[in-house]
Structure 1
Amino acid sequence: MVEAIKASEPKLKPEAQIDITAPDRGNEFTVIYAVGDIHGRLDLLDEMNSLIAKDIASSGAERPVICYLGDYVDRGPHSAQVLERLSLPFADHVARIFLKGNHEDRMIKFLVDPVSHGASWMNFGGREALESYGVRPPSESEGTSWTDLRHRLDRELPQSHKNFLNNLALSFRWRDFLFVHAGVNPERSLASQTAHDLMWIREPFLSSENDWGFRIVHGHVIVDQPVFRSNRIGIDTGAYASGRLTCLVVGADEERVFEVRRD
Structure 2
Amino acid sequence: MTESGIHYLDARGPEGMRLYAIGDVHGRHDLLAAMHRRIESELQHAPPSDWRIIHLGDYTDRGLHSKEVIDFLIEAQRRDARNLMLAGNHDIGFLEFLDRPDPDGLFMRNGGVQTAASYGVKLSAGGGWFGRSDETLLHGHAALVGAVPPSHVEFLKSLPFSATFGDFFFCHAGIRPGVPLESQSSDDLIWIRDAFHDHPGLFPKVIVHGHTPVPEAEVMANRVNVDTLAWQSGRLSALAIDGAEKRILTVEGKAF
The interval holding the TM-score normalised by the smaller chain is 0.7 to 0.9
Partner of 1:9: none
Q: How does 1:203-218 map to 2 (within 5 A)?
A: 203-218=194-209
Aligned counterpart for 2:186 among listed residues 195, 219, 232: 195
Confirm or deny: 8 A CA contact 2:16 2:48 kept in the other structure.
Answer: no
CA shift for structure 1 position 186: 1.3
Confirm or deny: 8 A CA contact 1:35 1:66 kept in the other structure.
Answer: yes
Partner of 1:126: 112
Q: Which moves more between the two structures, 167-176 or 26-35?
A: 26-35
- SS in structure 1 opposite 2:30? helix
Aligned counterpart for 1:177 among listed residues 168, 176, 200: 168
TM-score relative to the length of structure 2? 0.86
User: Structure 2 counterpart of 1:35, which letter?
Assistant: I
CA shift for structure 1 position 144: 3.0
Partner of 1:32: 19
Q: Structure 1 residues 254, 194: closer, same or farther in 2, change over 3 A?
A: same
User: Structure 2 counterpart of 1:128, which letter?
Assistant: Q
Q: How does 1:229-248 map to 2 (within 5 A)?
A: 229-248=220-239
Q: Structure 1 residues 91, 246: closer, same or farther in 2, change over 3 A?
A: same
Q: Structure 1 residues 247, 136: closer, same or farther in 2, change over 3 A?
A: same
Confirm or deny: 8 A CA contact 1:37 1:69 kept in the other structure.
Answer: yes
Aligned counterpart for 1:144 among listed residues 126, 134, 137: 134
- SS in structure 2 opposite 1:65? strand
Q: Any idea what the Cα deviations from partners look like across 1:82-131, whole Å, max 9, x if unmatched?
A: 1111112568646111000010011111122223x655421111010011
- SS in structure 2 opposite 1:100? coil
User: Structure 2 counterpart of 1:181, which letter?
Assistant: H
Distance 2:93 2:50 in 1: 33
- SS in structure 2 opposite 1:185? coil
Q: Structure 1 residues 131, 231: closer, same or farther in 2, change over 3 A?
A: same
Distance 1:247 1:212 in 2: 21
Q: Which moves more between the two structures, 199-208 or 120-129?
A: 120-129
Q: Count residues with an aligned counterpart.
A: 237
Q: Any idea what the Cα deviations from partners look like across 1:135-183, whole Å, max 9, x if unmatched?
A: 1111644673344333211110112111110111100100110000000
Distance 1:29 1:100 in 2: 26
Partner of 2:10: none
Q: How does 1:34-53 map to 2 (within 5 A)?
A: 34-53=21-40
Aligned counterpart for 1:55 among listed residues 35, 42, 64: 42
Percent identity, aligned pairs only?
35
User: Structure 2 counterpart of 1:144, which letter?
Assistant: D
Confirm or deny: 8 A CA contact 2:22 2:239 kept in the other structure.
Answer: yes
TM-score relative to the length of structure 1? 0.84
Partner of 1:23: none
Partner of 2:74: 87
Q: Which runs of 5+ in 1 are unaligned?
A: 1-25
Q: Any idea what the Cα deviations from partners look like across 1:181-229, whole Å, max 9, x if unmatched?
A: 0000115333432110000111110111232210000011111111111
Q: Structure 1 residues 40, 169: closer, same or farther in 2, change over 3 A?
A: same
Q: Which runs of 5+ in 2 are unaligned?
A: 1-12
Distance 1:181 1:29 in 2: 25
User: Structure 1 counterpart of 2:92, which letter?
Assistant: D
